[in-house]
């Protein structure tokens, strides 16, 4: 059994026929080939699969693809400008060494962008609390926090 | 080393690899897709210990989309997974090495043991079909604790290992230790458990295996820290395939921490099966499988005794440790609680006599192997916890008891086999105390007390043996492999460079650090140097990345290749400049005739090497491509002091890390930004072990109770503080970079520092010791028990 699905991903209309048990993360990765969205766990704990669904950060492993019917989805592949200029949050992660192996990074950046939109002037404590849903095993979070602070400042400009 | 001292060395160059990771264009194993690929799913044992009376795969084979179902009986001619290190018991017998079948045969020995491989058109079809496999199990009693496994009457896991004992091994002069204890003014004793951990790299293990019938070759994409070792073990020891017909690619790898060193059953079975189904096979573990089947870390039970004279000078250390090997020997399991553990028990101290005896046991748990630090965190934890307790018992301040025993003369031969080449332990202790503001601690403690909170300060002065390893020494200690590294520097005709390294980067930033080394030496931009790693089809050979070895061993191999490039360049320049080769100098990217303004750029020399119209073809081959192997002459010895300050709420047991300060000596540093990042990450893994993480199996059923990220507390951003880090430098004396390694230090120092801080905070409540992790429950319980 499969369902017709139409949605907008990174500004482009896409349509596909999907298995009803397929999650959004798998749809993005397998059907659309957008492998920047990573799957790091099976309990919606790690946040590596974070994307924006209609402007909100969601864990795409915890959303069925069919639930995104008609939605606007933004993945890491769509975050930079069309000419390749990185989003200020991406630049901040690079400048602050807020990434090591890169696996959690794409979800972390998508969460960070959403975090700043919700808490523009967040202090370190708020940033740490708001990043609770994104696990990183490499950086110890120290430089991620710095990157979010720097990215927030750049986004505010 | 002369001209390497300037350029990009010591500069926080932004990472070359970041652009792809930040834009979602990294390529991890599960991102690779091959035409016509199929999907694998492994049926795993739900029991910790059971006989397999029969397996019926009929229904699964007939399920929609299924191409094949394989069980252990199908793997005719396939050997078990090997262990790479032979430990010899004190009685002279070799360790017990029971077979570790790629798919279970006759018995399962831990929850998660792989029983069958299902291959189908889609992942869901493979999973659905696996549920149709009927395995007839006769459930047996299980044992999960490493001490319980050695008791009479414990369930027997392997016929080949009576009493579940793998080995009893010892190091040190027992008689000298016993004599020192007999004359000691004071003896401090501690019983210590080093808690079992699950590595939890955020990228789960994955593999994509394919077979090409045309030339009978195999290609394996796999989440590996050392693809050449993976290929060697898989082809030579397990599958009996020609090594040159197997290409192993470890593309972008999302963290390893040791757990991706090993040859695992999954990819081995998939390579074998790829020929049988003649289609590519993809598998990616889910997190539950990672918890069940990634090699775990630590899991020691120890009794430690420290003998001192009346002034707190250490006379002898005696340690008895039981180590959990899990159900089977993983690739390097046997050397972790022996060679990489007991040899570090001297720490930073002049303790003249040390004896350590280690018994390793099999249990019905996942295999245990190296996890960040691997043996060295366990050693540091023993040493630094007992030194802390000794200071308490002797009434000597924590910095003072360490200073009274520091090694200050180098080289220093420890009583447990290692020879430290250099170090500066006072400098790191002083600096750590400065950045931790130890002077202001009393005031902070008093202020916390006014709020009803308990503050504590804990020290850990750790040492580690890195730069693994001198092959001859490792071989004498039982290693079944060489431990050198290979590097190749390929200069292209237009002068840009591709470097091939046998080291592997899975977060460490080799593509940047190694490029800095090469660009500096050749006098070019970092952008003109690309680093290739993780592909047996492109890189000559390599032992991979673990044990903080990449720069000190892998980087040195590249330096040696660079030496050859420069030497050949000088020959070419001498010809072009009509000068004697001995008069040619190479500096800042130019070959010059000494004392003249006549010179050729590196690019001109490169072009000449590939367009040899005016070239000494009678004496010199064209081309500019050099490779080198480097086998270190000694281990390297990073060391430092970590100081943790905690605040505890005695009413709830909640502990917070108020601050954490680390001063480390990693020798020379190429990229301080990357090094600091490595320290931060290591610290949080160490803090995780001490405060949050604990892998628990149910003693009765052998079920993994902490089998998901909802049950196993991985540190999150709001569990930890920002850090204060500093470095001091005593350059390593035996590699040209003077580098020692930095990847594991945080995880080695942090657990003892944190637990010492907790014990310091709770000293007023009468608490002496309890085991990690210092969860609110355990802290509260310790306070209640001490006051009862």
B641 with B656, same domain: the answer is: yes
Q: Given an 8 Å threshold on Cβ–Cβ distance, is B710 in contact with A106?
A: no
Q: Looking at the complex, does the CB of residue B286 fall below 8 Å from at least one CB of chain A?
A: yes
Name which of A71-75, B103-107, B467-471, B588-592 the model is least confident about: B467-471
| Of the partner residues A75, A99, A125, the one whose CB lies closest to the CB of residue B24 | A75
User: pLDDT tens digits for A88-128?
Assistant: 999 999 999 999 999 999 999 999 999 999 999 999 999 99
Predicted local confidence at residue B408, as pLDDT: 98
Report the alpha-carbon angle B351-B637-B305, nearest 5.
Answer: 30
Q: What is the mean pLDDT of chain A?
A: 97
Considering the domain architecture, whether residues B586 and B622 belong to the same structural domain is answered as yes
Which of A38, A43, A97 is facing B708, going by the closest CB pair?
Answer: A43
Nearest CA in chain B to A88: B22
CB–CB contact B201 A137 (8 Å): yes
Q: Flag whether B307 is in a domain.
A: no
Taking residues B370-380, report their average pLDDT: 97
Distance CA B38, CA B281 (A): 5
Q: Does B448 share its domain with B566? A: no
Cα distance from B67 to chain A (closest Cα, Å)?
21
Q: Can you tell me the mean pLDDT for B741-761?
A: 98
Q: How far is CA B74 from the centre of its chain?
A: 34
For residue B718, give the nearest of A41, A86, A128 by CB distance.
A128
Same domain flag for B130 and B227: yes
User: Looking at CA atoms only, how far is residue A67 from chain B in angstroms?
Assistant: 20
Selecting from A33, A46, A94 the residue whose C-beta is nearest the C-beta of B22 gives A94
Q: Do A36 and B746 touch (CB under 8 A)?
A: no
Contacts of B15 in chain A (CB under 8 A): 94, 97
pLDDT band at B379 (very low <50, low <70, confident <90, very high): very high
**Chain B neighbours among A 23-62 (CB < 8 Å)?**
29, 33-43, 45-46, 48
Helix H segments across B436-538? 441-450, 471-476, 510-522
pLDDT surpassing 90 at residue B771: yes
A102 interfacial to chain B (CB closer than 8 Å): yes
Higher pLDDT, B5 or B478: B478
| B498 found inside a domain | yes
A134 touching chain B per CB within 8 A: yes
Domain assignment present for residue B136? The answer is yes
| Paired sense of beta strands B529-533 and B497-501, if any | parallel
Please answer yes or no on whether B722 and A48 come within 8 Å at the CB atom. Answer: no
How many domains is chain B built from? 3
Burial B158-190 (b: 16+ CB within 10 A, else e): beebeebbbbbbebbbbebbeebbeebeebbeb
pLDDT above 90 coverage of chain B, percent: 98
Mean pLDDT, residues B395-423:
98
Are residues B96 and B11 part of one domain? no
Question: Would B765 be classed as within a structural domain?
Answer: yes
B218 in a structural domain: yes
Report whether the peptide linkage leading into residue A7 is cis, meaning its omega lies within 30 degrees of zero.
no
DSSP-derived 3-state class of residue B338 = coil
- Cβ–Cβ of B202/A93 closer than 8 Å? no
Query: Are B728 and B642 contained in the same domain?
Result: yes
Evaluate the omega torsion of the peptide bond into residue B773 and state whether it is cis, within 30 degrees of 0.
Answer: yes
CATH number of the CATH domain containing B284: 3.90.1170.50
Instruction: Give the nearest partner residue to B287 out of A41, A79, A90, using CB atoms.
Output: A41
Decide if pLDDT at A156 tops 90: no
Q: Which among B274, B293, B312 is the end of a domain?
A: B293
CATH classification of the domain holding B671: 3.30.365.10
Q: Among A86, A136, A145, whose Cβ lies nearest the Cβ of B722?
A: A145
Reply yes or no on whether the pLDDT at B18 is more than 70: yes
The pLDDT assigned to B503 comes to 96
* Angle ∠(A39,A84,A65) on CA atoms, nearest 5: 30
**Which of B124, B76, B80 lies closest to B101 in space, CA to CA?**
B80
Question: Does the pLDDT value for residue B5 go beyond 50?
Answer: no
Would an 8 Å CB–CB cutoff place B685 in contact with chain A?
Answer: yes
In a domain, B304, yes or no: no
Predicted confidence (pLDDT) per residue in B55-74, tens digit: 999 999 999 999 999 999 99
- Residue A137 is nearest to which of B27, B252, B255, comparing CB atoms? B255
Residues B215 and B135 in one domain: yes
Q: What are phi and psi of B581, to 5 degrees?
A: -55, -35
* pTM as predicted: 0.97
Indicate if the pLDDT at residue B3 is higher than 60.
no
Show residues of chain A in contact with B714, CB under 8 Å.
135, 137
Domain extent at residue B546: 2-25+484-630
Q: Which residues of B touch A109 (CB under 8 A)?
A: 22
Which of B609, B630, B651 marks a domain boundary?
B630
With beta carbons under 8 A apart, name residues in chain A contacting B717.
127-129, 131-132, 134, 136, 141, 144-145
- For helices B672-691 and A142-155, the axis angle rounded to 10 degrees is 120
CB contact under 8 Å between B723 and A99, yes or no, is no
From the list B28, B674, B723, the residue facing A97 with the nearest CB is B674
Q: Do B329 and B157 touch, CB atoms closer than 8 A?
A: no
| Residue B6: per-residue pLDDT | 65
**Residue B570 DSSP SS3:** helix
DSSP B511-561: HHHHHHHHHHHHT--GGGEEEEESBTTTSS----S-TT-IIIIIIHHHHHH
Which 3 state secondary structure label does DSSP give B326?
strand
- DSSP characters for A76-125? GGGTS-TTSPPPHHHHHHHHTT--SSSTTHHHHHHHHHHHHHH-TT--HH
Q: pLDDT per residue over B104-116, tens digit each?
A: 999 999 999 999 9
Contact criterion met (CB < 8 Å) for A124 and B722: yes
* Beta-carbon separation of B677 and A139 below 8 A: yes
Contacts of B708 in chain A (CB under 8 A): 41-43, 45
B30 touches chain A (CB under 8 A): yes
Nearest by CB to A103, from B28, B284, B716: name it: B28
**Residues A26-36: tens digit of each pLDDT:** 999 999 999 99
Task: Tell me if chain A has a CB within 8 Å of the CB of B278.
Answer: no
Give the C-alpha separation, B535 to B526, whole Å: 22
Q: How far apart are CA B635 and CA B501, in angstroms?
A: 20
Q: Indicate whether B564 pLDDT > 80.
A: yes
Residues in chain B within 8 Å Cβ distance of A52:
none
pLDDT at B4 over 90: no
Please tell me whether residues B645 and B754 are part of one structural domain: yes
Answer whether B311's CB lies under 8 Å from B287's CB.
Answer: no
Instruction: Give the pair of three-digit tokens for residue B577.
Output: 């400049």
Does B235 lie in the same domain as B134? yes
Answer yes or no: do B241 and B207 share one domain.
Answer: yes
Give me the mean pLDDT over the B722-738 stretch: 98
Which DSSP category does B333 fall into?
G
Task: Give me the mean pLDDT over the B369-375 stretch.
Answer: 97
CB proximity list for B595: less than 8 A, separation 6 or greater: none
Task: Check B717 against A145: CB less than 8 A apart.
Answer: yes
For B198, the closest chain A residue by CA position comes to: A137
Q: Which helix (H) or strand (E) holds B341?
A: none
Contact: B203, A141; criterion CB under 8 Å: no
Q: Which of B241, B272, B293 is the last residue of a domain?
A: B293
B133 and B10, same domain (yes or no): no
Q: Does A92 touch chain B (CB under 8 A)?
A: no
Tell me if B242 is assigned to some domain.
yes
Candidates B26, B677, B683; nearest CB to A102: B26
- Same domain? B94 vs B213: yes
Q: Is residue B733 within 8 Å of B422, Cβ to Cβ?
A: yes
B716 domain-assigned: yes
Sign of CA dihedral B95, B323, B102, B538: negative
Tell me, yes or no, if B347 comes closer than 8 A to chain A by beta carbon. Answer: no
Domains and CATH numbers, chain A: 3-78 (3.10.20.30), 88-155 (1.10.150.120)
């Amino acid at each position: 059994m499969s369902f017709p699905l139409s949605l907008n991903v990174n500004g482009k209309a896409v349509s596909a026929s999907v298995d009803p048990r397929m999650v959004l993360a798998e749809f993005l990765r397998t059907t659309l080939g957008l492998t920047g969205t990573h799957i790091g766990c099976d309990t919606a704990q790690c946040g590596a699969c974070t994307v924006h669904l209609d402007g909100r950060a969601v864990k795409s492993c915890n959303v069925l693809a069919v639930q995104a019917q008609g939605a606007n989805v933004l993945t890491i592949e769509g975050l930079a400008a069309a000419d390749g200029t990185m989003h200020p949050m991406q630049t901040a992660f690079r400048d602050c060494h807020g990434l090591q192996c890169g696996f959690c990074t794409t979800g972390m950046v998508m969460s960070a962008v959403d975090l700043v939109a919700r808490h523009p002037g967040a202090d370190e404590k708020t940033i740490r609390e708001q990043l609770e849903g994104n696990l990183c095993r490499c950086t110890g979070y120290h430089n991620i926090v710095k990157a979010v602070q720097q990215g927030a400042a750049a986004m505010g400009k | 080393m002369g001209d390497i001292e300037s350029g990009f060395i010591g500069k926080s160059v932004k990472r070359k690899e970041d652009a792809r990771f930040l834009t979602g264009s990294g390529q991890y194993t599960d991102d690779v897709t091959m035409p016509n690929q199929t999907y694998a799913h492994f049926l795993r044992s739900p029991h910790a210990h059971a006989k397999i009376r029969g397996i019926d795969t009929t229904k699964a084979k007939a399920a929609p989309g299924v191409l094949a179902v394989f069980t252990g009986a199908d793997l005719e001619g396939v050997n078990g997974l090997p262990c790479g290190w032979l430990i010899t018991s004190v009685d002279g017998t070799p360790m017990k090495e029971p077979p570790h079948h790629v798919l279970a045969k006759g018995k399962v020995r831990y929850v998660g043991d792989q029983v069958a491989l299902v291959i189908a058109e889609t992942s869901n079809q493979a999973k659905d079909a696996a549920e149709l496999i009927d395995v007839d199990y006769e459930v047996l009693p299980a044992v999960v604790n490493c001490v319980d496994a050695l008791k009479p009457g414990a369930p027997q896991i392997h016929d080949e290992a009576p009493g579940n004992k793998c080995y009893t091994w010892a190091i040190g002069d027992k008689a000298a230790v016993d004599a020192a204890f007999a004359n000691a003014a004071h003896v401090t004793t501690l019983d210590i458990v080093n808690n079992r951990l699950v590595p939890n790299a955020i990228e789960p293990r994955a593999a994509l295996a394919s077979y090409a019938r045309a030339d009978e070759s195999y290609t394996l994409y796999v989440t590996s820290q050392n693809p050449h070792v993976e290929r060697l073990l898989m082809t030579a020891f397990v599958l009996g395939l020609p090594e040159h017909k197997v290409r192993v690619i470890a593309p972008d790898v999302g963290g390893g921490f040791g757990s991706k060193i090993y040859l695992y059953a999954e990819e081995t079975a998939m390579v074998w099966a790829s020929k049988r189904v003649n289609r590519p096979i993809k598998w990616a573990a889910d997190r539950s499988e990672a918890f069940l089947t990634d090699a775990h870390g630590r899991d020691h039970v120890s009794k430690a005794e420290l003998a001192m004279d009346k002034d707190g000078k250490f006379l002898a250390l005696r340690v008895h440790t039981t180590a959990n090997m899990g159900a089977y020997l993983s690739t390097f399991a046997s050397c972790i609680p022996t060679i990489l553990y007991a040899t570090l028990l001297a720490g930073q101290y002049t303790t003249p006599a040390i004896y350590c005896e280690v018994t390793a046991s099999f249990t019905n748990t996942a295999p245990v192997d190296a996890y960040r630090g691997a043996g060295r965190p366990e050693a540091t934890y023993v040493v630094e916890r007992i030194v802390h307790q000794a200071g308490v018992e002797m009434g000597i301040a924590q910095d003072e008891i360490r200073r009274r025993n520091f090694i200050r003369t180098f080289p220093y031969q420890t009583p447990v086999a290692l020879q430290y080449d250099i170090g500066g332990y006072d400098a790191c202790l002083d600096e750590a105390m400065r950045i931790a503001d130890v002077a202001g601690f009393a005031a902070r403690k008093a202020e916390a007390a006014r709020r009803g909170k308990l503050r504590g300060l804990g020290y850990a002065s750790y040492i580690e043996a890195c730069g693994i390893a001198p092959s001859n020494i490792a071989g004498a200690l039982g290693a079944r492999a060489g431990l050198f590294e290979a590097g190749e520097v390929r200069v292209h005709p237009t002068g840009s460079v591709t470097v091939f390294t046998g080291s592997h980067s899975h977060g460490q930033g080799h593509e940047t650090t190694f490029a800095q080394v090469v660009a500096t030496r050749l006098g070019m931009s970092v952008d003109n140097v690309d680093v290739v790693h993780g592909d047996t089809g492109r890189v000559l050979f390599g032992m991979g990345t673990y044990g903080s070895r990449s720069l000190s061993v892998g980087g040195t191999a590249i330096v040696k290749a660079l030496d050859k490039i420069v030497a050949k360049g000088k020959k070419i320049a001498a010809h072009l400049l009509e000068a004697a080769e001995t008069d040619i100098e190479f500096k800042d990217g130019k070959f010059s005739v000494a004392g003249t303004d006549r010179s050729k750029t590196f690019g001109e020399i490169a072009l000449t090497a590939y367009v040899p119209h005016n070239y000494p073809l009678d004496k010199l081959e064209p081309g500019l491509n050099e490779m080198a192997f480097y086998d270190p002459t000694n281990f390297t010895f990073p060391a430092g002091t970590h100081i943790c300050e905690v605040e505890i709420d005695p009413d709830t047991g909640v502990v917070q890390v108020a601050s954490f300060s680390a001063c480390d000596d990693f020798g020379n540093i190429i990229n301080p930004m990357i090094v600091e990042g490595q320290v931060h990450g290591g610290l949080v893994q160490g803090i995780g072990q001490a405060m949050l993480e604990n892998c628990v199996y149910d003693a009765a059923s052998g079920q993994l109770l902490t089998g998901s990220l909802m049950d196993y507390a991985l540190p999150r951003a709001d569990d930890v503080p920002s850090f204060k880090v500093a470095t001091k430098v005593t350059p390593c004396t035996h590699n040209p970079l003077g580098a020692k390694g930095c990847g594991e230090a945080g995880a080695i120092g942090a657990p003892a520092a944190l637990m010492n801080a907790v014990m310091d905070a709770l000293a007023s409540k009468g608490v002496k010791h309890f085991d990690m992790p210092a969860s609110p429950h355990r802290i509260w319980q310790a306070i209640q028990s001490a006051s009862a």
